Structure 1
């Protein structure tokens, strides 16, 4: 009975707090995926849902995605982060490799050459905060390092194939254009 309570509590916390990072030694609750952080000392517990679940069911479970402010900018910044962090389009994007706010801004500069670098960087910073708060990115504001969040591991394979095609069309950035 304690196991059932423990798993129910883990699901309730997940609904209330979002994705959680835990010590690697803890048992993962039933129905959640265990994503191991680089280094192996911590894991993410990611609630699983069937690929064909509808938005109404996600809403009922408290798992619906948050409303996105400035959705075009948010999608663009997330795509730039994917392009820089996802190294092998044949495999899962998570955990990917770290990048920086500057590198993401450089990619946006190549996409939006008429905007100033400072304005583009402000947009990246604003969106990185929101995407980090919702688990799509992990961003350390002190160092400026951005990584893909565990939430990207929840994307179905059909979506990953489409995202990979989009990422292939995006530039890698000035400093990485030869990669």
Structure 2
């Protein structure tokens, strides 16, 4: 069996699994390491469109409320990517409360309702590998899919994040904290 097909099938069933860095990265996957673990992401053929990814049930973004999911991801990146000249992966941990605060300042209307909706989006983004959410600790950081963004695609994202409200100072868990 083609290792790429097998990797895509595993991703559909398991999500984005991780292994210790000491284990080899299986064929058909790209490894995104943060030093302690390696997340196994399926490799897609060049030119794979969102429609193709959706057909394989591995959409690049949760599509229920794609606009809202992108805004929540942007708020999380604003908090978890403090040095925009660096790469976004592995990023730093940020308090979920800080991400929700940044998101609430980006929206109109009821701020508490916005926070509740954003909490659901954080969970969906975590389920799809865009974020790593630790609900027990109340923290979030960039997920392994972020590691696959090519450097050339980051300029417009950096520009966008510069325009978002800054995160509150109280919730960062430290820039060197990648676990």
In the superposition, the TM-score normalised over structure 2's length comes to 0.79
1:152 aligns with 2:146: yes
1:55 aligns with 2:50: yes
Aligned to 1:97: 92
Structure 1 portions without partners, runs of 5+: none
RMSD: 2.7
Change (3 A) 1:103 1:8: same
Which structure would you say has the larger RCO, counting Cα contacts within 8 Å and 6 or more residues apart? 2
Q: State the Cα distance separating 1:79 from its structure 2 match.
A: 0.5
Aligned residues: 170
Separation in structure 2 between the aligned mates of residue 69 and residue 94 of structure 1, nearest angstrom = 25
Aligned to 2:176: none
Q: State the Cα distance separating 1:133 from its structure 2 match.
A: 1.0
The correspondence for 2:70, drawn from 68, 75, 81, is 75
In the superposition, the TM-score normalised over structure 1's length comes to 0.79
Aligned to 1:14: 11
Aligned to 1:86: 81
Change (3 A) 1:70 1:60: closer
Structure 2 portions without partners, runs of 5+: 171-179
Separation in structure 2 between the aligned mates of residue 8 and residue 71 of structure 1, nearest angstrom = 26
Separation in structure 2 between the aligned mates of residue 124 and residue 60 of structure 1, nearest angstrom = 26
Aligned to 1:34: 31
The correspondence for 2:102, drawn from 107, 110, 114, is 107
Change (3 A) 1:7 1:124: closer
Task: Provide, for residues 91-125 of structure 1, a one-character-per-residue CA deviation record: whole Å limited to 9, x for no partner.
Answer: 32111001112101221232236433x22321221
Task: Provide, for residues 128-151 of structure 1, a one-character-per-residue CA deviation record: whole Å limited to 9, x for no partner.
Answer: 111111111111111211111101
